[in-house]
């Protein structure tokens, strides 16, 4: 084990980033034309990084498994993007955004990175407005803001419930401009299969053309991994079905440390599981908690009657409803952070108060918002003496203007009208705070290999606050990586083009082909999904919202045995030299079967509760997370040594000079 150096600059927190930019090495424009950069993943982090690096003059190659960068999973983000503009005049600042993010992450993130994130957040909004992103605007024409969980100010910029889509289209348009100029060469429908290291530096990748099956070599002076998170290790998650860990995990196998794999976010507002037939879950934006109130019946007999279909939620009187978040956390109410809201929902459902047929759902109710907005609209419209029905109709129109597409989506999936009956929600796997370990420059432990966005671990600690994923992805891509990568590339101005005809590329390609052949040669007993579903159930039941030492050890043993069976008995039909989606899935699930075991090992070694990592042995009498700052105030960074059970732990000690460590309270 070693203590990792994060290379955070010296000096006062608010001056670190400015001083660092002023002193790091740069590459002059004429030399940038001779330097190649590979970007794997074209979501918000990868797309913005590729566009900015190409604008600066580097030659960029982008890789994504989708048919277009527009299909990246960033498109699914709904609620908004944070920035400390203080447009509302409610007391926001860079420091408050920094503080809320560190506190929300349960004091398990790096101070310097989070403060930098807050500093550049305002620039992101300016950049996106200039690109034409249609953010919502208030009456006076300024950009509007709404609140998200874990904060006491309104700092979330949004475009209805389609914020991720609009931001991605902005990044994609910036990419397209560079593609048209010849500065970006896109490789869509390509999947990174391995990282190639030459003389200790990342010098390219091996990729598979998903249309032809051809294995290709691509070289560069640096490689950026921006391939998103690993939530699909749980099989059921809010991620796109294609989302995977392959690029990050193959980088890990080549020497990049993997940090905090057990820090995974369970999102409290998702459409509940309806049966064994499902292959993914759907998120309902956290922004809905601005106006929706979460409740369950106060009496178990009412919950049982609702589950049996004998009682409708609208028939339950106000005094018979338990608005449990408002009761337990009066200061923040329904806008507590995601980990807190998720555990509270689980606690109520486990106690027998769940409201759907499986008993695993709570209500998200907009009836109060309809009346509140309706009264205001009636007054501003000059309607005196409006009836309650008129007020509710006016209020529904206001809510529709703010969240309309989310309500439509819910009705299409559940076949219930959320304007007439409360939504049903339940927690589900959503985002991963863990990822490739990076230093202050976003460089992994492999020189020349960088990680951006959700693929790295750096900014969210043990729990991500809502609307911070889009902020981090665009901060990394537009405003951090383009500066810091130049510090490394300044050493390569005389290197010349990197050849792919070398022993290192030969060996990497051979290993990729051998792995594919091994997958294709299984005995053919079970499908890929058969193994993925079993893995998902192990992960959810034993590494999900709550964990304990006994079940984590069981998970490690069960995943190890499942992985062994997978390699012997998986059935992959077709051939490797053409389109073969089962082969694609097989490669991804093979990596999940390794990551899942390391995930459980990481959770077992962290003997505390913090954020999304809740160990049942470590909780307060009230059932809240109990941190152990004396023994676990560090980042767990794992070095690959073959089997996950042999992974070696390295620590990055977390130093807090600007924030007082204390028990997180939202009461």
Catalytic residues: 338
Q: Rounded distance, CA 664 to CA 407, Å? A: 33
Dihedral sign for Cα atoms in the order 337, 662, 229, 471: positive
The phi, psi pair for 45, rounded to 5°, reads -70, -50
Neighbours of 239 (CB within 10 A): 26
The label of the residue with tokens 């083009």 reads: 497
| Helix residue spans in 143-285 (DSSP H) | 163-181, 246-253
The label of the residue with tokens 């890789």 reads: 63
Q: Please name which of 417, 451, 486 lies closest in space to residue 230, comparing C-alpha atoms.
A: 451
Secondary structure of 244-304 as H, E, C letters:
CCHHHHHHHHCCCCEECCCCEEEEEEECCCCCCCCCCCCECCHHHHHCCEEEEECCHHHHH
Torsion-angle region of residue 654: left (phi > 0), alpha (psi -120 to 50) or beta? beta
CA distances from 570 to 244, 278, 402, 430, 514 (A): 18, 21, 47, 27, 16
Strand order in the sheet with 201-209: 190-198, 201-209, 215-219
Q: Rounded distance, CA 191 to CA 207, Å? A: 5
Q: Please name which of 225, 285, 211 lies closest in space to residue 43, comparing C-alpha atoms.
A: 225
Q: Rounded distance, CA 178 to CA 160, Å? A: 29
Q: Which residues have C-beta within 8 Å of that of residue 118, sequence separation ≥ 6?
A: 84, 94, 95, 97, 98, 101
Note the Cα 309 to chain centre separation in Å.
36
Q: Rounded distance, CA 245 to CA 249, Å? A: 6
**b/e map of 310-337 (b: 16 or more CB within 10 Å)?**
ebebeebeeeebbbbbeebbeebbbbbb
Q: Rounded distance, CA 224 to CA 485, Å? A: 9
- The angle, 0 to 180 degrees and rounded to 10, between the axes of the packed helices 528-543 and 581-605 is 20
Q: Please name which of 192, 223, 195 lies closest in space to residue 209, comparing C-alpha atoms.
A: 192
Tell me the sheet residues that pair with 653: 634
Contact by Cβ (8 Å): 308, 300: no
CA distances from 619 to 118, 464, 500 (A): 31, 20, 53
Q: Rounded distance, CA 344 to CA 111, Å? A: 28
Return the SS3 of 138: coil
Q: Which helix (H) or strand (E) is 61 found in, with range?
A: strand 59-64
- The angle, 0 to 180 degrees and rounded to 10, between the axes of the packed helices 367-380 and 388-414 is 130
Largest separation between any pair of C-alpha atoms in the chain = 83
Q: Please name which of 534, 284, 249 lies closest in space to residue 418, comparing C-alpha atoms.
A: 284
The phi, psi pair for 229, rounded to 5°, reads -100, -175
Dihedral sign for Cα atoms in the order 554, 555, 560, 566: positive
């Amino acid at each position: 084990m070693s203590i990792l150096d994060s290379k955070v600059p010296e000096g006062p927190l608010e001056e670190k980033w400015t001083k660092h930019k002023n002193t790091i090495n740069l590459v002059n424009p004429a030399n940038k034309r001779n330097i190649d950069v590979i970007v794997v993943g074209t979501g918000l982090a990868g797309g913005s990084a590729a566009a900015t690096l190409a604008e600066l003059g580097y030659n960029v190659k982008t890789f994504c498994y989708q048919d277009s960068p527009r299909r990246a999973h960033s498109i699914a983000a709904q609620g908004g993007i944070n920035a400390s503009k203080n447009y509302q005049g409610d007391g926001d600042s860079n420091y408050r955004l920094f503080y809320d993010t560190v506190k929300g992450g349960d004091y398990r993130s790096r101070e310097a990175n989070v403060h930098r994130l807050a500093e550049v957040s305002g620039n992101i909004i300016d950049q996106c407005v200039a690109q034409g992103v249609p953010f919502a605007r208030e009456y006076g024409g300024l950009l509007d803001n709404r609140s998200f969980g874990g904060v006491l100010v309104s700092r979330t910029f949004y475009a209805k419930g389609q914020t991720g889509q609009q931001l991605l289209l902005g990044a994609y348009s910036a990419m397209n401009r560079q593609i048209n100029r010849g500065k970006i060469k896109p490789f869509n429908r390509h999947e990174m299969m391995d990282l190639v290291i030459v003389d200790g530096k990342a010098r390219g990748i091996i990729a598979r053309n998903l249309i032809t099956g051809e294995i290709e070599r691509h070289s560069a002076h640096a490689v950026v991994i921006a391939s998103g998170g690993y939530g699909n290790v749980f099989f059921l998650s809010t991620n796109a079905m294609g989302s995977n860990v392959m690029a990050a995990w193959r980088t890990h196998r080549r020497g990049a440390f993997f940090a905090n794999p057990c820090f995974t976010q369970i999102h409290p507002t998702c459409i509940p599981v309806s049966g064994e037939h499902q292959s993914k879950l759907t998120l309902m934006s956290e922004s809905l908690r601005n106006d929706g109130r979460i409740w369950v019946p106060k009496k178990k007999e009412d919950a049982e009657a609702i589950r049996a279909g004998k009682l409708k939620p609208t028939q339950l009187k106000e005094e018979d409803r338990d608005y449990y978040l408002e009761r337990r956390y009066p200061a923040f109410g329904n806008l507590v952070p995601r980990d807190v809201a998720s555990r509270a929902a689980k606690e109520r459902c486990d106690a027998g108060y769940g409201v759907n047929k499986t008993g695993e759902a709570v209500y998200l109710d907009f009836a109060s918002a309809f009346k509140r907005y309706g009264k205001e609209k009636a007054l501003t419209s000059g309607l005196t003496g409006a009836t309650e029905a008129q007020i509710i109709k006016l209020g529904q129109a206001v809510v529709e203007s703010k969240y309309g597409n989310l309500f439509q989506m819910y009705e299409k999936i559940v076949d219930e009208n959320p304007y007439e009956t409360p939504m049903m929600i339940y927690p589900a796997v959503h985002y991963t705070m863990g990822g490739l370990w990076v230093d202050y420059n976003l460089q992994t432990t492999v020189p020349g290999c960088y990680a951006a966005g959700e693929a790295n671990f750096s900014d969210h600690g043990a729990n991500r606050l809502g609307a911070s994923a889009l902020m981090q992805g665009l901060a990394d891509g537009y405003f951090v990586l383009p500066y810091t990568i130049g510090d490394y590339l300044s050493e390569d101005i005389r290197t010349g083009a990197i050849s792919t005809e070398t022993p290192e590329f030969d060996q990497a390609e051979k290993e990729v082909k051998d792995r594919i052949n091994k997958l294709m040669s299984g005995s053919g007993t079970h499908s890929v999904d058969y193994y993925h579903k079993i893995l998902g159930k192990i992960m959810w039941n034993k590494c999900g919202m709550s964990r304990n030492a006994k079940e984590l050890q069981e998970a490690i043993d069960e995943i190890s045995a499942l992985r062994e069976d997978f390699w012997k008995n998986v059935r992959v039909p077709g051939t490797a030299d053409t389109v073969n989606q089962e082969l694609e899935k097989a490669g991804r699930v093979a990596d999940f079967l390794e990551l899942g075991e390391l995930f459980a090992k990481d959770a077992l070694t962290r003997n505390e509760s913090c954020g999304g990592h809740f160990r049942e042995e470590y909780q307060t009498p009230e059932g809240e997370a109990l941190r152990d700052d004396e023994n676990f105030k560090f980042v767990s960074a794992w070095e690959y040594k073959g089997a996950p059970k042999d992974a070696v732990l390295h620590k990055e000690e977390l130093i807090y000079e600007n924030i007082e460590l204390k028990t997180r309270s939202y009461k």
